[in-house]
Chains A and B, each alone.
Chain A
Amino acid sequence: MKRTLMMMMAVVAMMSLAASAGTISGKVSGVAGESVVYVEAPAGKTFPAPTEQPVIDQKGLMFQPHIVVVQVGTTVEFLNSDSVAHNVFWPSVGGNKKLTHNLGTWPKGEKRPFKFDNPGAVPLLCNVHPEMSGYVVVSPTPYFTKTDKSGEYKIENIPDGSYTVTAWHEGAKNQSKPVAVAGDSKADFTLSK
């Protein structure tokens, strides 16, 4: 009897949770290729850091993938798969040049981790191959996504409420919009360089 009661309470809780989670979808236009859309953190709200550690590879004189989106607190591993020496550094995080950092040099096949504790776009560079470019976009919440190549996106499982949603694209100015999430919500962005 006690067990049945607990199961019923769990189902009710899940149903109520589902009822309060919505989506934000839309399109990012004005730019070509992949963009990033993420939800800014509501005041006073924090989120536990994920344990997953994405890998960014340096291969063929390129950062692969070119853009990685992570939540604040995520540790990213930087792998060197090339038979030439590389390094990884970034001049700023979210435009803040005080957060510049250089990871140094490591040989082929090895990884070097870094935990991103500040939100914003992190331009990845290699100081011996200046044409190499990549980005880590650090989202302050777990609600983020990359658009497809046509600019369409959808972020799911966002608790109902009022948020600020930001769109980012390489080389373009960020654009933020207030969005009230209640079920399916829409937010389109038009970015410009």
Chain B
Amino acid sequence: MDTRRQVSLFFAFVLAVILLTGSSYAIPAFSRQYGTSCTTCHIDFPKLNDFGKAFKDAGFKFPKDDETFIKIPPVMLGAPAQKDMWPHTVFPGTIPGLPAIGLRFNQFFQYTSGNANNYNIAGQSTGPYIPRTDFQPGYFSIFTAGNFGSDIAFWVDDDISVSGANANGSLGDGYLRFVNVSRFFKLPTDSLTLKVGQFELDLPFTQARAYDISPYDIYSQANIGAVDPAYPQQFVNNSFTLAGPGRGIELSGGHHYGGYRYAIAIVDQNTSNSAPTNYPNVPAPAGGAGYFSDSNFKDLYGRFAYRFNLERDPTSRHEVQAAGATGPRDHTYLTLGSYYFYGRSVQRTAGFLPDGTTPTVLLAREPFYRVGGDFDFNYRQFNIYGLYMYGHDKDILPFTPTDFAGPTGFISGSPATFSGGFIQADYMAYPWLMMIMRWDRVQSRADFLNEAGSTNFFSPVGSTRNRFTPGAQFLIHANVKASFEYAYRPQQALTYNLNGQPMNVFRTNTATGALEFVY
């Protein structure tokens, strides 16, 4: 095990708990503004209930009569009657009466399987020691959100401190959302909304605001191809993952709490990657040319879903929340959806013009797409949902004609593909206790081919990655939560004997506890 690999392994281990955990946000600023509890909008923060979904859809406002619920009046940026003077005056808006700021901190404790140190390979250099237990500070984050009047909503969140170090976080989402612009075009209410900025794509299930400790594996799956003479070459180094934010615009419509919902986003293509030194089977770009973002082509994302509220009473069926015998509750519903992402991964490599002698940088824009479907079923306190994804990168290989010193163009190779998804079931045993069971699966041939070079301790090296993750989350208060999960992963190995049998097998099962609070 070389030094680079040791360092990478240790680094991956120490930060995995933190960096692999999803950022999650509840909005204390709204609690202050409306004088209401987190549980008005959240089941188990940041998981939204139906009312929270409607609140978000409406642009961080109560869906009806918002002004009657606000306990801290907004500051008027112009009298409402100024509207009549427009365009001879600035159109009046509002800002929240209190700075709409929320803060969040979390910390983790992790226990790792005892045989994890079998990762060290006998006879080679000593690998890093992997502690059985580990305490880690997590995120200290700030987020602000609200509405400026005229149905213009805003959101910014930023991780101020990650893993106990100052100012080394990054911007999460930051956008303006122009809600219900459909009214300007005489279209049905809420059929068209415009979002501009940096934002998480309208994924079937959010990763940025997920409530699980560990993220969905499929959302963080990049498509790193493999170049191995024994297998079809895959000249793919596409770091795009659905978990990453997009920068651009999004048109959307419909509601998350019932009926149709669509989103179409045009975002900067997001395949920038450094030289793929972590994947030694992928050749480093020659001549200083690498794999970088090319914003000339914008990636496209589309999603359509329909949620069937299954209440018998038609009135209740169309309300934001269903009318239960003992109070309002989330609907019994079934949501079916699909999504599609199309982009082009830029490849540049040193080569020659067709004359075979004039050096140049060859460029290819390699098409890739991610496509899948999802479902979400809710009955009272039980919620089960899942997602399937198929990833496909075309794989354009540099082509070197006979007797040429380098490539002069590209030819199509064997597509680099992967597939997978997850299924998760949540059960609210009590309003403060949620039990979770999740299954993640990722199948990637490229991952398998790259196994010998992999330094990702938490990613099994086989072509299929399975993970069962039972968990529980406890609301100590509406804004203070203790979470626990146990990730059960398959046995894996880095080396095989001559008979192809694995050596130094180990598991990377991890038990993780987390404490977080927002205020």
Binding site for B on A (CB under 8 A): 59-61, 82-87, 89, 102, 104-107, 126-131
Contact = CB atoms under 8 A, between A and B. Distances in A.
A85 B326 CA distance: 12
B65 A61 contact: no
B319 interface: yes
Interface residues of B, number: 26
Given A128-B321, A130-B478, 12 more contacts: A60-B71, A82-B69, A84-B62, A85-B327, A105-B326, A106-B323, A107-B323, A129-B37, A129-B40, A130-B37, A130-B39, A131-B36
Given A86-B328, A105-B328, A128-B51, A60 B69 contact: yes
Given A61-B36, A61-B69, A85-B320, A126 B327 contact: yes
Contacts of B51: 84-85, 128
Contacts of A87: 326-328
A129 B328 CA distance: 10
Interface of B: 34-37, 39-40, 51, 62-65, 68-69, 71, 315, 319-321, 323-329, 478
A126 B321 CA distance: 14
A102 B326 CA distance: 6
Residue of A85, A106, A107 with highest tally of chain B CB at under 10 A = A85
18 contacts: A60-B71, A61-B40, A82-B65, A83-B63, A83-B64, A83-B65, A84-B64, A84-B320, A87-B327, A89-B326, A89-B327, A104-B325, A105-B328, A128-B39, A128-B321, A130-B39, A130-B478, A131-B36
Contacts of A127: 326-327
Contacts of B329: 128
A128 B320 CA distance: 13
Q: Which 5 A-B pairs have the closest CB atoms?
A: A87-B327, A85-B328, A83-B64, A105-B323, A127-B327
A61 B40 CA distance: 10
A106 B327 CA distance: 8
A123 to B, nearest CB: 16
A83 B62 contact: yes
A124 B81 CA distance: 41
B319 A128 contact: no
A131 B35 contact: yes
Interface residue SS majority, chain B? loop
A131 B62 CA distance: 17
B40 A104 contact: no
A87 B51 CA distance: 14
Contacts of B319: 85
Contacts of A89: 326-327
Contacts of B71: 60
A126 B39 CA distance: 12
A107 B323 CA distance: 9
B62 A85 contact: no
A102 B320 CA distance: 21
B33 to A, nearest CB: 12
A181 to B, nearest CB: 42
A104 B62 contact: no
A89 B62 CA distance: 23
A87 B322 CA distance: 12
A128 B219 CA distance: 33
A131 B69 CA distance: 13
Contacts of B478: 130
Nearest to A59: B68
B327 A105 contact: yes
Contact of B327 (A61, A83, A107, A128): A128
A105 B325 CA distance: 7
B37 A102 contact: no
B405 to A, nearest CB: 72
Contacts of B324: 104-105
Contacts of A82: 65, 68-69
A39 to B, nearest CB: 35
A102 to B, nearest CB: 4
A89 B326 CA distance: 8
A61 B320 CA distance: 16
Nearest to A61: B36
A104 B64 contact: no
Contacts of B65: 82-83
A44 to B, nearest CB: 38
A132 to B, nearest CB: 8
B110 to A, nearest CB: 33
Contact of B37 (A84, A104, A131): A131
Contacts of A83: 62-65, 68
B345 to A, nearest CB: 47
B36 A129 contact: yes
A123 B319 CA distance: 28
A85 B313 CA distance: 15
A104 B327 contact: yes
Contacts of B62: 83-84
Contact of A128 (B34, B40, B64): B40
A93 to B, nearest CB: 17
Contacts of B63: 83-84
Contacts of A107: 315, 323
A127 B478 CA distance: 13
Contacts of A61: 34-36, 40, 69
